[in-house]
Amino acid sequence: MSRHLLAGLLLFAGAVLADPPLRFLQARLYEAPPGVETLAAYFTIENPGSADRVLRRFRSDDFARVELHETRLEDGVAHMVPVPALTVPAGGRVALAPGGLHLMLIEPKRPLRAGDHFLLEIEEADGTLHQLLLPLRRREDAGGHEHHSHHD
């Protein structure tokens, strides 16, 4: 049994290794107004592989806590809903964007200055670890297009 399990695991690992890795795009961490200890990070995840991938853990040495949340508008009321795991479908993409999915980085442990970079670790359900460098930026002027609906 253990032999079969091992073979299965190796096959599984082989399949995962053969799959192209996730791509993280347009990562940015937005500067918080004075006195605010919670920052929001946004990025887009592309899954060029043939299997769904699940992100389940987010952490950073520079923050006490990192949590994935989704802003949902229901009858004009904004709710924040914790998202314990995020599935990036095979061949698809998921965008974290203002007004939708966002990563909350809570209680910074070092001073935050626009232009600095912060290291974020993202772990997949299978243990694959991603490291993502987030530049701290002011919110840019986006004209009338500040809002992006997220799609998957």
Partner 1 sequence: MALARPAATRLLAAVLAVCAAAAGLWLARGGSAPPPVQTATLYPDDFPPVAEFTLYAADGTPWNRDALAGRWSLIFFGFTHCPDVCPMTLHTLAGVWRDLEPEQRERLRVVFVSVDPERDRGARLGEYLAYFSPDFLGLWGEDDALAPLIDSLGAVYHRETAPDGTVTVDHSAGLFLLGPDTRPRAHFAAPHRRDALHHDLTLLLGAER
Residue 144 in contact with partner 1, rule: CB under 8 A: yes
For residues 1 and 36, which CB has a smaller minimum distance to partner 1 in the complex? 36
b/e per residue 41-75 (b: at least 16 CB within 10 A): bbbbbbbebeeebebeebebebbeebbbbbbeeee
DSSP class of 10: H
**What torsion do the CA atoms of 86, 88, 89, 92 make, to the nearest 10 degrees?**
140
Residue 30 in contact with partner 1, rule: CB under 8 A: yes
Question: Which residues, 49 to 88, sit near partner 1 by CB under 8 A?
Answer: 69, 71, 73, 76-80
Q: Using DSSP bridges, classify how beta strands 93-95 and 38-46 pair: parallel, antiparallel or unpaired.
A: antiparallel
Q: Which stretch binds partner 1 (CB under 8 A): 1-9, 15-23, 47-55, 136-144?
A: 136-144
Residue 3 in contact with partner 1, rule: CB under 8 A: no
Q: Which stretch binds partner 1 (CB under 8 A): 19-27, 43-51, 110-118, 143-151?
A: 143-151
Among 6, 11, 38, 133, binds partner 1 (CB under 8 A): 38
Q: Check if the beta carbon of residue 130 is closer than 8 Å to that of residue 136.
A: no
Residues that bind partner 1 (CB under 8 A): 30, 32-40, 69, 71, 73, 76-80, 98-99, 102, 104, 139, 141-147, 149
